[in-house]
Structure 1
C-alpha cells in the first residue's frame, strides 16, 4: 500500500492521535507538524534517512528520533504519519500496515493539529512558502500570536512552525497530491494556478478542478483572496463567483480591477516598495526583499490581514519586517566581489521570477546559474519552458535530474533542457566540474545562483569557497 493512499483519510480529532510517529520527520513539512504537536503536549517520534540539524532540534523539543528506517522504530505508536514521498516498501510503513495502526497523510495530521483555530490557507503553484511566511510575520508583528506551519525556515520567525495562542492558524496548503482538500480554511489565498504535478493529476484540467474543489471548502463567511494578474487564479475566481454561493472574493495585483491594487512599484538591489490602493484608502509598502513577485506576495498577505481585522498601517509595518524565507533568493555568501544566492525554484515560472530578481540585484553585471531539474515528469512536460526561463541568465550549467519520488523515464534527461538553451553553458553531469565551471565564469559584481528543489543547495557554499580560492590565487 502506498503512502498516497492515505491522503484522503477522514480528519481526526486532535485528541484521537495518541502517540504519533513520523516517517521522514526531517522534511520541512513533516518537521513543522511535529513541532506543533510537541508544543501541544503530544508524544512524538520519527525517523529520517540521514541525520540533520532539524532532527537534533526536534530531539531537544522532546521527540524520539531515529536515523534510518526500521520497523522497530514505530514501537508504541498509535498513529503513523506519511507523505507522498514515502515508498510502499518503507519498512516502517510496512510494519504500520501489518500492525493495523492508524496511518494518515501529513495533511490530515496538520489539519488535526489545528483544532478549532481559524485557518488561513495559502495555495498556489508557486509563492506559497513566501506568502505563508509573510502572513505569519505580519500577524506576529501585530500581536495576533498565530500558529503556523511553513514549508521552509524563516529568518524573522526562527523556525518553520509554532503553536500560538491567538486563534489563527496560517498554513501552506500543498496542492501537489491533492491533499490540501483535507483542510477547513476560513481564508484561502491563491497566488497562481498553473499546470504542474502532472505525474499526480494527469492533465491541466485536473489541476484546475482541484483548485475549484479547494475553494469550495470555504464556509459561507469565508474569503477567497486571488491574484488577478495570473490567468489561472483569475479564472478560478470567475468560476467561483459563477457558483453564486456568496463568499467574498478579494482580488489583488497590478490589474485595474484588483481590490488591493499595486501601484508605483520601485526596486533596488535588495528591497522593493509600492503603493497599495484598496477600499478605504492607500498604504505605502516597503519590503526587505527584491522582485515584483514579492510585491504580489505581500499584497496577498496585506489583503488577508485586512480580512482578519488588521489596520492597514499595522499590516504594512509587519510586512516591512519580513526578510525572506529559506531557499527563496537566500544569500549564501560572497567572495571576490561575487555574490552567491540559492533559490528553491523548480517550475519555469518560478525560475523566471528568480532570474528577473537576480537581474535587478546584479545591476548590469552578469548572472550565472547552476540548475538542477526536479522530477523526470516535470522535466518532460516543461523542458522548453525551463530553457526559455534559464536563458535569462548569462550562463547556465544544468545538472542531472533530481528524481525525488520518481523512477527514471526513458529518454528524459537534462539534455532536453540544455539542447534548447539560448545562452552559454550546457549539460554538466559532474557536479564538481559544474561548480568549477560556474565559478570560473563569474567576475566581480556578478551574481551566481543555485536553483532547484533537490540537493543543488549544497553547492552554494562550495561555490563561495571556490570563488575565494580563485581570488586568493589571482584568477579574478
Structure 2
C-alpha cells in the first residue's frame, strides 16, 4: 500500500534515533516517521525481517548496542526514543544520549504527537487488542478510508504493522502495560476486557484497573466508548466512570450477549449490539447480530462473518465494526454493510491463530497468547478447527513474574488440550526467579502435561505425540513461534 503525502513533522522529530527499533511497536513508529519525511536511525540486538524493510525505506540501523550508533545520522539525533519495558536504562546508547544532552523519550509520547490533529480510534483491554485494531483497519480500508495506523502485529494483507494514511483517522492499540495509553488523544475507545496482568509494573490489581478508569475519563467530549458488556471488569469500569462519561457527553456503545437478566436496567440499556447466535467452523464463524439506536435508526439484524475461529474473535469483530462506524461519524460515515464486508475479507494478523502449514495430516498453527484467558480462548477455537481431531498445545510461558502469578490458571487453560507440552520460561526483560520454571504449570495440570525445558527436545516430543487429523498449536510471546516450521519439517519426513 502506498504511503500518502507526508504531513510536516515537529522539529524535534526531524532526526530520530530508536533503541530497539526492530520491536513491533518501535518498527511501526519508525515507518510512520519515515513516511512523514523524518530521518531515522536505530539499533537492535539482531537482524529481522522488519529491520530489512526499514532499511529499504531509508533507516540507518546498527546491529548491537553501541554509543557510536548515535552518530549514524548527519548532525546526530534530535531525540532518542526507547521503550519502558524492553530497553534497560543502562543501555550504552541511552547513557551516551544523556551525556550529550539529547532528549530521551518513550515511544508512546512520540506516537501521541503523531496522532495530533486526527480523529483517533484506540483499542484497549487486557486481551484482543491487536486482532480488534487490525479488523477495524481492514473495515475502514474496505469502506474507502485510508487511516493511519500503528498495530502490534502485521496485517497479512499489507505485510505491515503501521501506515501513514491520507485520511484524518488514526487507529492504534492503547497499551496499558506501562500506563502509556493515558498519553493518547482519544476520540473513540474500545475496551475489550479487563483482567489482572502486568503486575510486575503495577504492583496490584487495583492499580492495574485504575489506569482504565483514567483512560475513559480522558476520552474527548463528544467521543464514544465501545465496551464489551460480557466482561465483568468492563461492566464494572462503566459503573465507576458513568458520571464522568455523562458529563463529557461520551456515548457508551455496549456489545455482547445481553443474557444477564439479573443485571440492573442501567447496564442492560447500554447494549447497542447483541450477539444473538454464533456458528463456528474450522475456518471462522458467522454471527447473527441485532443492532439498536444510535448505531442504526431502528433495531435491525445483520450477519457478521469472521475468518478466524472462536466466539472471542466474533466479539472482537463486532467491536471493530462499532468503533469504525463511530470514528467515521464526522468524516463521511461508512456504511455498516461495507465495514462488515471488510471484516469478512480480512485475512488475519501474523501470530494470531496463524496457519503455518500441514504435514502428515497434521495442521500447525501459531498464536501470541501469553495470558491464561488468551490461552483458554485460543484452545477453544482450536477445538473447533480440529473437528474430530486432537489438539496438541505447545506453550512457552512469558515472564517469570507472570508464570509465578498465574501458574494455576495456565494449568487450567492448558487442560483444554488433549496433550500439552510446556517449555521453560521466556524471560524477556526479566532475570530468572528461583524455583520459577514451566514445571510450575505442568505440576498443576490434571492430565497430559509434560515439561520440556530444553528446546532441542521439543520437536521429537511433538512428533512422537502427533497423529493424522491432529491440530498442533504453538503458543506464547517468545521464540516458540520459530518452532512451527521445525515441527512441520519433522512431520514431513518419512518414518524409518
TM-score class normalised by the smaller sequence:
over 0.9
In the alignment, is residue 196 of structure 1 matched against residue 197 of structure 2?
yes
How far apart, in 1, do the equivalents of 2:288 and 2:357 lie? Answer: 32
Q: CA deviation at 1:449?
A: 0.8
- Residue 143 of structure 1 aligns to a residue whose secondary structure is coil
- Residue 229 of structure 1 aligns to a residue whose secondary structure is coil
How far apart, in 2, do the equivalents of 1:255 and 1:74 lie? Answer: 55
Note the residue ranges of structure 1 that are not aligned, 5 or more in a row.
Answer: 1-12
Gap change, CA 1:131 and 1:14, over 3 Å in 2: farther
1:6 is matched with which residue? none
1:273 is matched with which residue? 286
How far apart, in 1, do the equivalents of 2:465 and 2:49 lie? Answer: 33
2:272 is matched with which residue? 259
- Deviation track 1:274-299 (CA, whole Å, cap 9, x = no partner) reads 12211232211112111111000001
How far apart, in 1, do the equivalents of 2:152 and 2:375 lie? Answer: 18
How far apart, in 1, do the equivalents of 2:90 and 2:324 lie? Answer: 44
Q: CA deviation at 1:121?
A: 0.6
Q: CA deviation at 1:252?
A: 0.8
How far apart, in 2, do the equivalents of 1:418 and 1:383 lie? Answer: 9
Q: CA deviation at 1:413?
A: 1.6
How far apart, in 2, do the equivalents of 1:431 and 1:16 lie? Answer: 45
2:162 is matched with which residue? 161
How far apart, in 2, do the equivalents of 1:117 and 1:439 lie? Answer: 51
* Greater shift in the superposed pair: 243-252 or 211-220: 243-252
How far apart, in 1, do the equivalents of 2:457 and 2:147 lie? Answer: 46
In the alignment, is residue 294 of structure 1 matched against residue 295 of structure 2?
no
Asked whether the 8 Å contact 2:394–2:421 carries over to 1, the reply is: yes
Q: CA deviation at 1:112?
A: 1.4
- Residue 222 of structure 1 aligns to a residue whose secondary structure is strand
Q: CA deviation at 1:179?
A: 0.8
How far apart, in 1, do the equivalents of 2:445 and 2:201 lie? Answer: 28
2:6 is matched with which residue? none
Shift >6 Å, 4+ stretches: none
Note the residue ranges of structure 2 that are not aligned, 5 or more in a row.
Answer: 1-8, 260-267
1:3 is matched with which residue? none
Asked whether the 8 Å contact 1:122–1:189 carries over to 2, the reply is: yes
How far apart, in 1, do the equivalents of 2:348 and 2:49 lie? Answer: 20
Asked whether the 8 Å contact 2:17–2:81 carries over to 1, the reply is: yes
Q: CA deviation at 1:241?
A: 1.0
2:467 is matched with which residue? 443
Q: CA deviation at 1:306?
A: 2.2
Give the alignment's TM-score, normalised by structure 1.
Answer: 0.95
Q: CA deviation at 1:423?
A: 2.1
1:16 is matched with which residue? 12
How far apart, in 2, do the equivalents of 1:237 and 1:451 lie? Answer: 32
How far apart, in 2, do the equivalents of 1:301 and 1:60 lie? Answer: 32
1:282 is matched with which residue? 301
How far apart, in 2, do the equivalents of 1:79 and 1:321 lie? Answer: 40
- Tell me how many residue pairs correspond in the alignment: 460
1:457 is matched with which residue? 481
1:358 is matched with which residue? 382
Asked whether the 8 Å contact 1:43–1:63 carries over to 2, the reply is: yes
- Deviation track 1:217-266 (CA, whole Å, cap 9, x = no partner) reads 11111111110011111111121213342311111111243211112111
Asked whether the 8 Å contact 1:283–1:312 carries over to 2, the reply is: no
Q: CA deviation at 1:430?
A: 1.2
* Greater shift in the superposed pair: 44-53 or 107-116: 107-116
- Deviation track 1:1-30 (CA, whole Å, cap 9, x = no partner) reads xxxxxxxxxxxx833322001100001100
Asked whether the 8 Å contact 1:135–1:301 carries over to 2, the reply is: yes
How far apart, in 1, do the equivalents of 2:123 and 2:31 lie? Answer: 20
1:310 is matched with which residue? 334
Give the alignment's TM-score, normalised by structure 2.
Answer: 0.91
2:418 is matched with which residue? 394
2:83 is matched with which residue? 83
How far apart, in 2, do the equivalents of 1:195 and 1:105 lie? Answer: 24
How far apart, in 2, do the equivalents of 1:123 and 1:34 lie? Answer: 22
1:182 is matched with which residue? 183
Q: CA deviation at 1:169?
A: 0.3
Asked whether the 8 Å contact 1:23–1:47 carries over to 2, the reply is: yes
Asked whether the 8 Å contact 2:115–2:184 carries over to 1, the reply is: no
Q: CA deviation at 1:42?
A: 0.5
* Greater shift in the superposed pair: 275-284 or 144-153: 275-284
1:42 is matched with which residue? 38
Asked whether the 8 Å contact 1:178–1:210 carries over to 2, the reply is: yes
- Residue 186 of structure 1 aligns to a residue whose secondary structure is strand
- Residue 219 of structure 2 aligns to a residue whose secondary structure is coil
Asked whether the 8 Å contact 1:371–1:451 carries over to 2, the reply is: yes
